[in-house]
């Protein structure tokens, strides 16, 4: 596996989807392609399931393909989704190896590129069946990115990641051309754009010291900007997760993965301090001195209990796994009980080891038993947690949000997890598009697509 979107919590259904992606990639592109099975391709498969267009894996589906293909894969309902995801993994591999060659990575990349060249051609041909202009479109986005590396003008990480965001948005949107997913194309493209921003922001931050040592290009000017780039990455991942929830439901599998990755990045930020997100997103913003807008961190997602979404193990993947009767992220114990909406509390009932919890007040003792899938009231009385004390929410000009419905020109927008009636200045805006407040009247919020 390669890629950025590796969740720290891999629930049973995630491993089943991963195994199915592995089977489809081997089926379409052979055993040699499997080192380039992509976490981003698995996310696309989850989006296909979340949309309701394709079925989730059976309860008895394997969690490891053991490098074996499956008879009759092309006859399954999810075959078109599997082919798309397998082809996407090969596309990412081709772009990565091309980039490695430009950076002088050595003979290994050149050899891999040569061995997989025909498979890469097949993957590109597949995407050209979805859009005849595919090759030209992707090349334009790559060239735009390379042009930014040659400019001497100072640029923000948001500007630098824009071509990659456009490329991911374009390819994610192509999934809307598979089966009956056309209605989800705007949401898929919006998720892809946020993922593209997050990947580049993370890479810039992680590679900053090495690039500075080697004299390679990196848009980040100093160490403070490295931290801010990580925070920008988190904001984009949280925004993508929120888009998934609003379009596919609060228990969207794709949202859980994106949130898990966001928390992994957050741990890098807080590695020198505490790993518990004991401050609310806006409080973190104030403490960090970051320059991002209120809305960037207002879109960080649902805040449940003391640690944003969940305090034990790893955010929604753990809690949802327990709630749905699956394996918990820690492997043994029920971790969290989640109920209600964003105003609810999270009660943690057990952790598999002291390092499992991100903040101690959320963890009870380790002697509680799980009985018939539920906690016995005799064994445990889950601790009630006080919600985060955050500043009162206020609507502000400049806040970013997401269009919940098409705006023609009126409709609904989502700002900081709140649904508002909004209107544009006359233009139509599609659902799931990013919007920004440009004016506020007594009973009217005016927005513009961004």
DSSP for residue 290: -
Q: Look at residue 1 and tell me whether its pLDDT is greater than 90.
A: no
Give the pLDDT confidence of 14-39 residue by residue, as tens digits: 999 999 999 999 999 998 999 889 99
What is the per-residue pLDDT for 186?
94
Q: Look at residue 361 and tell me whether its pLDDT is greater than 60.
A: no
pLDDT category of residue 68 using cuts at 50, 70 and 90: low
What is the per-residue pLDDT for 365?
31
Give the pLDDT confidence of 227-248 residue by residue, as tens digits: 999 999 999 999 999 999 999 9
CA 68 – CA 7 distance, rounded (Å): 24
Q: Look at residue 50 and tell me whether its pLDDT is greater than 90.
A: yes
**Mean pLDDT, rounded, for 43-71:** 87
The superfamily CATH assigns to domain 12-260 is: Farnesyl Diphosphate Synthase (1.10.600.10)
* Six token digits for residue 387: 């919600």
pLDDT category of residue 271 using cuts at 50, 70 and 90: low
20 vs 397, more confident: 20
**Ranges of each domain in the chain:** 12-260, 400-449
What is the per-residue pLDDT for 129?
96
Note the helical H segments in 30-66. Answer: 39-50
* Six token digits for residue 82: 């599997």
CA 121 – CA 86 distance, rounded (Å): 13
Q: Which of 39-53, 249-263, 309-323 has the lowest mean pLDDT?
A: 309-323
Q: Are residues 193 and 158 in contact, defined by beta-carbon separation less than 8 angstroms? A: no
427 vs 65, more confident: 427
Q: What size, in residues, is the chain?
A: 450
**Mean pLDDT, rounded, for 61-79:** 81
Instruction: Determine the number of helices (DSSP H) and then strands (DSSP E) in the chain.
Output: 15, 9
From residue 75, alpha-carbon distances to 84, 303, 382 in Å are 15, 42, 47
Q: What's the first-to-final CA gap in the chain, in angstroms? A: 34
Q: Look at residue 302 and tell me whether its pLDDT is greater than 60.
A: no
Q: Look at residue 373 and tell me whether its pLDDT is greater than 80.
A: no
CA 424 – CA 408 distance, rounded (Å): 8
Residues 225-235 as b or e (16 or more Cβ within 10 Å = b)? bbbbbbbbbbb
Q: Look at residue 58 and tell me whether its pLDDT is greater than 50.
A: yes
Q: Look at residue 78 and tell me whether its pLDDT is greater than 90.
A: yes
CA 211 – CA 221 distance, rounded (Å): 11
What is the per-residue pLDDT for 450?
84
pLDDT category of residue 360 using cuts at 50, 70 and 90: very low
CA 4 – CA 158 distance, rounded (Å): 18
From residue 169, alpha-carbon distances to 14, 194, 200, 240 in Å are 23, 8, 14, 11
Fold classification of 400-449 (topology level): OB fold (Dihydrolipoamide Acetyltransferase, E2P) (2.40.50)
């Amino acid at each position: 596996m390669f890629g950025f979107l590796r969740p720290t919590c891999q629930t049973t259904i995630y491993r089943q989807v991963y195994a199915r992606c592995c089977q489809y990639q081997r089926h379409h592109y052979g055993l040699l392609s499997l080192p380039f099975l992509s976490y981003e391709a698995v996310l696309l498969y989850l989006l296909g399931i979340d949309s309701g267009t394709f079925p989730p894996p059976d309860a008895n589906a394997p969690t490891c393909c053991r490098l074996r293909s499956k008879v009759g894969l092309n006859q399954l309902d999810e075959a078109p989704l599997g082919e798309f995801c397998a082809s996407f993994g090969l596309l990412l591999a081709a772009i990565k190896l091309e980039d490695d060659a430009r950076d002088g990575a050595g003979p290994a990349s050149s050899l891999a590129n040569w061995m997989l060249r025909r498979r890469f051609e097949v993957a590109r041909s597949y995407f050209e069946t979805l859009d005849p202009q595919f090759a030209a479109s992707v090349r334009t986005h790559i060239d735009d990115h390379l042009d930014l590396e040659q400019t001497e003008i100072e640029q923000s990480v948001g500007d630098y990641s824009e071509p990659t965001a456009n490329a991911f948005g374009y390819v994610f949107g192509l999934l809307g051309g598979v089966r009956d997913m056309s209605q989800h194309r705007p949401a898929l493209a919006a998720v892809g754009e946020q993922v593209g921003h997050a990947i580049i922001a993370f890479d810039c931050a992680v590679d900053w010291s090495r690039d500075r040592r080697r004299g390679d290009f990196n848009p980040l000017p100093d160490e403070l900007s490295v931290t801010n780039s990580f925070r920008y990455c988190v904001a984009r991942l949280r925004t993508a997760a929120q888009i998934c929830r609003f379009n596919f439901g609060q228990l969207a599998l794709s949202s859980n993965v994106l949130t898990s990755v966001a928390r992994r990045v957050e741990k890098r930020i807080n590695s020198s301090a505490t790993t518990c997100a004991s401050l609310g997103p806006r409080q973190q913003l104030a403490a960090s001195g970051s320059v991002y807008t209120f809305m960037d961190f207002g879109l960080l997602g649902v805040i449940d209990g003391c640690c944003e979404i969940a305090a034990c193990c790893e955010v929604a993947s753990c809690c949802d796994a327990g709630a749905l009767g699956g394996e918990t992220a820690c492997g043994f114990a029920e971790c969290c009980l989640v109920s209600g909406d964003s105003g609810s509390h999270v009660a943690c009932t057990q952790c598999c080891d002291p390092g499992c919890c991100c903040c101690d007040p959320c963890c009870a003792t380790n002697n509680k038993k799980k009985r018939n899938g539920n906690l016995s009231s005799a064994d445990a009385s889950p601790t009630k947690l006080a919600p985060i004390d955050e500043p009162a929410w206020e609507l502000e000009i400049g806040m970013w949000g997401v269009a919940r419905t098409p705006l023609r020109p009126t409709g609904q927008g989502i700002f900081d997890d709140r649904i508002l009636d909004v209107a544009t200045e006359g233009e139509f805006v599609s659902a799931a598009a990013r919007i920004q407040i440009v004016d506020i009247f007594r009973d009217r919020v005016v927005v513009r697509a961004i």
